[in-house]
Amino acid sequence: MWKPDRSSKKPIFQQISEEIERKIACDEYPPGSVLPSERKLADQLGVNRSTVVQAYEELRSTGMIESVKGSGTKVSKYKLGSSINTPNWRKYLDGGTFMPNLPTIRRIRSELRKDSPIIDFASGELSPDLFPLEAVRQLLQEESFSAVLGYDDPQGYLPLRRVLVSLLSNKLNVQTTESSILITSGSQQSLYLIAQCLLSPGDAIAIEDPSYCYSLPMFQSAGLRLFRLPVHPEHGIDPDDIIALHRQHRLRMIFLNPSFQNPTGRVMSTDQQKRILKVTADLGIPIVEDDPFSLTAFDGNPPKPLKSLDSAGQVLYIGSLSKMAASGFRIGWLVAPHSVVSRLADARQQMDFGLSVIPQWVASEFIRSGRLERQLDFLQSSLFHKMHRLCATLKERLSDHISFTMPEGGLNLWCKLNGEMDADKLLEEAVRRGVIYVPGSVFGSERGYIRLSYARPETGLIEPGIERLAEAIRSL
């Protein structure tokens, strides 16, 4: 984010006004768009409010911006030197098919982009010290790249699909073939392809409540109707709820995350899996199983996915390397009937002509050479240690305010705020003190909860982060 240069001889208010003028000129701030309030911009730039007031006055004097009581400060409809036929980009943005991310998600990402240090319990990804950087360096030095640098098979790099067949069978008891696997850029692309290609606007889908899926606007962008499938704290999903939802709304698809569910960390029991498979098979409803976390099981024995019990071909199974190795791998997979894989591969090829073969080759060799196995051993131990450090610190500092159940894998801890504490208001106080998390409202209807990711902060920052959170709680 741009900041004024305090070493410059040019007055700070003038630097600010010139930066805003530049953004107006290049349509980052199109005509009619609302500028940040004086107080908010002052906080963002780390200057006095009076400095921003002076900058805005400078711009008002040129006619670049205008202020209307009750409506804030806006870029003038016809900015200086522009044609009256300048496109109204705001109308285009508001009318697009893709919906923007939730305001809370945008706020969290904005805070994480700032230069000021903040302890990050919000990002559901690994910290850099857990990345297998040295293993990848060795791989690139020792292995010979032999793939063809042309357009790849629409389903993805064949050697990668072959090693995935072995990995899924040996680790998770998921039986498949290379022709039933589609390589994607990650779980979100898999979900996007399913939403766009297998469903139609107006279709009804059921999503766990709470679920990270509520933080993804792709379902609303596709015009789908979302219905909540409660995840009860004690017994998880009640199959009778699926029957009731289907009778009322004619469900077309169900989206589940049975292993170390995000955000609750719950694992669906085998009996429950069988009951859900039976109910959905009787109703003719396919299931999308997103399984990014099962191989992070702390004891090295991953829970078996729904897909491992699927004898009817009703489960579309999604996996990814992001939570096991590094988000930068951008490698995921979708296991489905070949007809479905072919349809989604065709759609993906229309979008981007397929994935780059280089990261697919790296992923293939990373798995084939045993490096993934060693990474998983290291990761399981590291995450277990981080999780215990977080839980111990919470019990020591915040046992009167927060309760939780320790997970057996995954990256996240789902915490209940005791009493009437508002997780969204608490977030504001936490950010002021240099710590950030995701409030439960992002994941659906749970408003008295917060999600703390123990994977992202380095181990030495966990205790200071919880102390800052404790200070925020005491301030309410």
For residues 364 and 322, give the distance between their C-alpha atoms in angstroms, rounded to a whole number.
14
Who has greater pLDDT, 124 or 383?
383
For residue 78, is pLDDT > 80?
A: no
For residue 79, is pLDDT > 60?
A: no
pLDDT at 353: 64
* Among the ranges given (12-21, 85-94, 156-165, 461-470), the one the predictor scored with the smallest mean pLDDT: 85-94
At 473, the pLDDT band (50, 70, 90 cuts) reads very high
For residues 461 and 119, give the distance between their C-alpha atoms in angstroms, rounded to a whole number.
7
Residues 6+ apart with CB under 8 A from 68: 74
pLDDT at 458: 95
pLDDT at 94: 66
For residues 186 and 182, give the distance between their C-alpha atoms in angstroms, rounded to a whole number.
11
pLDDT at 336: 97
391 neighbors 404 (Cβ within 8 angstroms): yes
What is the average pLDDT across 282-298? 97
Who has greater pLDDT, 113 or 77?
113
Q: Report pLDDT digits (tens) over 117-131.
A: 899 999 999 999 999
225-230/204-209 β-pairing: parallel
332-335/181-184 β-pairing: antiparallel
For residue 47, is pLDDT > 70?
A: yes
Burial of 228 (0-12, 13-18, 19+ CB in 10 A): middle
Q: Report pLDDT digits (tens) over 248-260.
A: 999 999 999 999 9
For residue 26, is pLDDT > 70?
A: yes
pLDDT at 179: 96
Q: Which amino acid is at 234?
A: E
Who has greater pLDDT, 24 or 182?
182
Q: Does residue 217 have a cis peptide bond before it, meaning omega lies within 30 degrees of 0?
A: no
pLDDT at 151: 62
For residue 209, is pLDDT > 80?
A: yes
What is the average pLDDT across 335-339? 97
Q: Read off the pTM.
A: 0.82
pLDDT at 160: 96
Q: The tokens of 434 are what?
A: 């240099």
DSSP state of 334: E
For residue 147, is pLDDT > 70?
A: no
Who has greater pLDDT, 395 or 22?
395
pLDDT at 102: 75
pLDDT at 356: 85
For residues 191 and 248, give the distance between their C-alpha atoms in angstroms, rounded to a whole number.
24
- Write the CATH number of the domain with boundaries 106-130+374-475: 3.90.1150.10
Equal CATH topology for 12-89 and 106-130+374-475: no
Domain ranges of the chain: 12-89, 106-130+374-475, 145-369
At 389, the pLDDT band (50, 70, 90 cuts) reads very high
CB under 8 A, 24+ apart: contacts of 342-346: 342/155, 343/197, 343/198, 344/182, 344/193, 344/194, 344/197, 344/198, 345/154, 345/155, 345/156, 345/182, 346/154
For residue 155, is pLDDT > 70?
A: yes
What is the average pLDDT across 356-368? 92
Q: Percent of the chain beyond pLDDT 70?
A: 93
At 90, the pLDDT band (50, 70, 90 cuts) reads low
pLDDT at 300: 93
At 3, the pLDDT band (50, 70, 90 cuts) reads confident
Q: Which CATH number fits domain 12-89: 3.40.50.2300, 2.40.30.30, 1.10.10.10, 1.10.8.60?
A: 1.10.10.10
For residue 83, is pLDDT > 60?
A: no
What is the average pLDDT across 358-366? 92
Mean pLDDT of the chain: 90
Q: The tokens of 188 are what?
A: 């979100």
For residue 1, is pLDDT > 90?
A: no
For residue 278, is pLDDT > 80?
A: yes
Give me the CATH topology for the region 145-369.
Answer: Aspartate Aminotransferase; domain 2 (3.40.640)
Residue 171 CA from chain centroid, whole number:
25
At 93, the pLDDT band (50, 70, 90 cuts) reads low
| Cα separation values, 220 from 185, 334, 348, 373, Å | 21, 22, 20, 38
